[in-house]
Amino acid sequence: MIRCLAVENYRSLRSLVVELDQLTVVTGANGTGKSSLYRALRLLADSARNGAVAALAREGGLPSTLWAGPETIGKAVRAGDHPVQGTVRRGPVALRLGFADDDLGYAIDFGLPQPALSAFQLDPLVKREAVWAGPVLRPATLLAERAGTMLRIRDGRSWSTFPDSVGPFDSMLSEYTDPQRAPELLTLRERVRSWRFYDQIRTDQRAPARQIRIGTRTPVLAHDGADLAAALQTILEIGDQAALAASIDAAFPGSALEIGIEGTRFEVRLRQPGMLRSLGAAELSDGTLRYLLWTAALLSPRLPALLVLNEPETSLHPELVRPLADLIASSAERTQVVVVSHSRALIDALTGDDKATRIELVKDLGETKVEGQGRFDHPPWQWPKR
């Protein structure tokens, strides 16, 4: 389980360290940084797949994603006596992301390339990376470290160094795979790669989830829901069939799910009371389809190590929020779940019986903060030094 997530200089997250629980609900007003937190987690996962540089480029490159405020916010500015002003930089530009789970920690530090050396001025360089044992990075807990293109791996009481073993734009987590020399790197990479992110899955008329497709056994629903019918059929065959039926009945009383199979092609169908025939994927309403997508994602027979849901309540009728909360709570008994949500009903349903930890984000001079978190009451965290 991930205990702690740390982000620095990513959009409005100037410096944030949050504690995550088995089930964590992230909420806050518009523009407080909920989506940024979600995206920061996804960037971390991308770095294990070596997609972080491309993901940052899609967001407009490092300069656009970097915290746009001043490097430090002085007391006078906080008190409102002075306007916010740019100051001369004391430290290098650094966008940093990291997390610590039960036994391993990881951090990555992106910086700007040297001007004039390359035309790709928007591509971030990976300046530092570190993997350590236990909750906090210390010289004694460090297991592997990367500085520029140089890799250093703990080898008993000494260190093995590997010059030029990772490209300047690549993550060591994705590039260096030696199960003998660095088993922790591999372990961590596999963990991070298994994280799943579900964000505004399309339900419009041309949505992938509405297409009839060739079905293969699908224990985990794809990010875009394209394999919905196969994922539901997989739950029917090797998953919790009773929970699936109960969840459909709780949301649409009297209705039953059917997977239409013609040859190798699968289609989601729903038999509803009052209908002479079941309705196919192209005929289901947006909200109905979305609920089926959540059912497939949350009842997955092989849940990932971390499941992150962005605004799952979108386009659901308030009456569906309770069954959705039950689905989320039951999957949180099997894996770690982070839910970013606006919906008071969903948050109340999830946090009601103390099953979930709630993180309320607030904006302070453009900077995202955790409501009620004092300067020193976040989990201990140490970034790798440049």
Q: Which residues bind Mg ion (CB under 5 A)?
A: 35
Least Å distance, CB 275 to Mg ion, is 37
The item of ligand ATP, Mg ion, none sharing an interface with residue 33, based on CB under 5 to 8 Å by kind, is ligand ATP
Identify whether the C-beta of residue 153 lies closer than 8 Å to the C-beta of residue 181: yes
The item of ligand ATP, Mg ion, none sharing an interface with residue 260, based on CB under 5 to 8 Å by kind, is none
The item of Mg ion, ligand ATP, none sharing an interface with residue 63, based on CB under 5 to 8 Å by kind, is none
Least Å distance, CB 78 to Mg ion, is 26
Q: Do the strands 256-262 and 213-214 form a parallel or antiparallel pair, or are they unpaired?
A: unpaired
The item of ligand ATP, Mg ion, none sharing an interface with residue 68, based on CB under 5 to 8 Å by kind, is ligand ATP
Residue found under tokens 């089926």: 292
Residue among 16 and 270 whose Cβ is closer to ligand ATP: 16
Residue among 35 and 351 whose Cβ is closer to Mg ion: 35
Residue among 69 and 167 whose Cβ is closer to ligand ATP: 69
Residue 58, token pair as written in the block: 């899609």
Residue-wise DSSP of 95-132? EEEEEEESSEEEEEEEEPPPTTT-S-TTSPEEEEEEEE
Least Å distance, CB 73 to Mg ion, is 23
Helices 241-251, 228-238: inter-axial angle, 10-degree rounding? 130
Residue among 28 and 215 whose Cβ is closer to Mg ion: 28
Helix, coil or strand: residue 201: coil
Residues 358-377 within binding reach of ligand ATP (CB under 6 A): 366
Helix, coil or strand: residue 275: coil
Residue among 35 and 278 whose Cβ is closer to Mg ion: 35
Binding mask 3-42 for ligand ATP (x = CB under 6 A): --------xx---------------x-xxxxxxx------
- Nearest to Mg ion by Cβ — which residue? 35
Full strand arrangement of the beta sheet holding 142-147: 13-19, 2-10, 95-101, 104-111, 125-133, 142-147, 150-155, 158-162
Residue among 36 and 174 whose Cβ is closer to Mg ion: 36
Residue found under tokens 């001025």: 121
Please list, in sequence order, all residues whose beta carbon lies within 8 angstroms of the beta carbon of residue 327, skipping any fewer than 6 positions away: 247, 294, 295, 298, 299
Cα 155 to Cα 106, 138, 158, 182, 306, distances in angstroms: 18, 16, 5, 9, 30
Please list, in sequence order, all residues whose beta carbon lies within 8 angstroms of the beta carbon of residue 214, skipping any fewer than 6 positions away: 264, 265, 266
Least Å distance, CB 309 to ligand ATP, is 14
Binding mask 50-89 for ligand ATP (x = CB under 6 A): ---------------xxxxx--------------------
Least Å distance, CB 31 to ligand ATP, is 3
Least Å distance, CB 343 to ligand ATP, is 11
The item of Mg ion, ligand ATP, none sharing an interface with residue 12, based on CB under 5 to 8 Å by kind, is ligand ATP
Residue among 289 and 340 whose Cβ is closer to Mg ion: 340
Residue among 201 and 268 whose Cβ is closer to Mg ion: 201
Identify whether the C-beta of residue 5 lies closer than 8 Å to the C-beta of residue 18: yes
| Bridge partners (DSSP) listed for residue 185 | none
Least Å distance, CB 73 to ligand ATP, is 12
Q: How many CB atoms lie within 10 A of CB 327?
A: 23
Q: Which residues bind ligand ATP (CB under 6 A)?
A: 11-12, 28, 30-36, 65-69, 366
